[in-house]
Structure 1
Amino acid sequence: MSSDHIDEVSGISTTGHEWDGIRELNNPLPRWWVWTFYITIVWAIGYTIAYPAWPLLHTATKGVLGYSSRNDVGNELSKAEAAKGKYVAAIEAKSVSEIAADDTLREFAVAAGGAAFKLNCVQCHGSGAQGSKGFPNLNDDDWLWGGKAEQIQQTITHGIRFASDPDTRLSEMPAFADIITADQIQQVSAYAASLSGAVSDQALVASGARVFAENCVACHGDNAKGNKELGAPDLTDAIWLYGSGEAAIAAQVTAPKHGVMPAWGARLGEIKVKELAVYIHSLGGGE
């Protein structure tokens, strides 16, 4: 409520309100602002009538226009599924090598496979597929079971040492502590380490080579370059799954670790496995 009091400084009447000797000037809002404010109120009421707005016990008001953002999202997803349908059908019909040779299909498969990798594989192989101790690096060209696209597909489909899949990749290195002596283990570990680096005692290498020839060539080969049919690693490179150096090699020879990879075929389906195989092969380490 206004009063007859006039502020001496501004010459504007006051409202009659006073707090601790401070009076409130009677400065009404501009008419255009007041009408804009009223219009927004009317618009808001109209909006809540036209569109879903007011929450109810188990649902919400539907709005007279029947609009639904959920339906919009569903329609967009349906359009996206329809658009990629021809690519999915082509991937289903072709082999992974044929997919990799087709620029358009390869691009689609790499994108889809990359998404599947982030969802299912990063827990072991890392976000960049770089792996870690006991989990292979998928960016290099060292593949225990072969790095061709079809071989990668086979590994993803059936896993490694996955007991519930009868077609799983299966091989196990014996625990040589039960077969050869501790001295022989030290010798053969020195020989294996010498194939890709320096060793602490060069004198052990010659005797280690004899131990290797008598016990290891059946899987790793005369040249120690491994055997992809058996999943036996190449010992002449500097890539070691469970650690490099004589001590780590001796530990593996004594009581080997045997990693397990799940069989993803039944869980992901043939199409998604193909996409994963093409994506992994595209990382640069595939043969």
Structure 2
Amino acid sequence: MKKFFLFLIVFVSLNAAYAQVDEASKNKEVAFKAGEQITYKLRYGFLSAAEAVIRVENTPLKFEGHPALHINAQAKTVGTFNFLFKVKNEYHSFIDPQTLLPYYYTETRQESKYKHTDKVIFDHEKNTIIADKGTFPYTGDVFDFLSCYYFARNVDITGVKIGDKLQMRYFLEDGIHAMTITYLGKEQVKCGLGTFNCLKFSPTIIPGRIFKKNSKLYLWITDDKNRIPIKANVEIIVGSLTMDLTQASGLKYPLNPVKK
């Protein structure tokens, strides 16, 4: 049950990964800048369930002698869900402003009676990840939740066709995992900030206590230079979950809703 509201941050970060990711696939022009702040709300049916705020900030900290950007995400339950299953989670990722690869990641999760913390160091010289549960060797590019979201916004998907299956790798608690995402084409989608031209994706999900066997997760990302996820929807065992973009400020590029 503790993973129910972690679903929000998974939507906002991990599931935004939508292309085969390596350094060569990244656009030269970075899609965001320090000062960006975006807010998402999660609804369970018609009920507001949770909210996540993600900020990009400058930081005086340096890693491996290099400057870094600080990404800070906070997710919490709201309204009735504070009484049913209170959640207050916080995530921090420090990334290279040029390569967008992570240096350091921390998370503090309090989900009802469950508590979890983790500190993760990405050693790019030795290709190892050092976390609370051990040391993990890796090859290629591997991300945490937040850095994977921001890297994915910068991936060049010019050659992606409808039906193509793409992949991204991420580290979570005790190992390196991969997620497969299918590109479904373009649609106009409405969120809290208006209607936008979007790219539509369907990340693979694993059936279990939350998802039905045939559940489909759909994710819509702005078809512009920002590449911000604005909406996501998935059916669960009982009802459905919807993520909605409700606020965006400090963007590098202006949002351009469709004029009706």
TM-score, normalised by the number of residues in structure 1:
0.18
TM-score, normalised by the number of residues in structure 2:
0.19
* Structure with the higher helix share, 1 or 2: 1
Structure with bigger gyration radius: 1
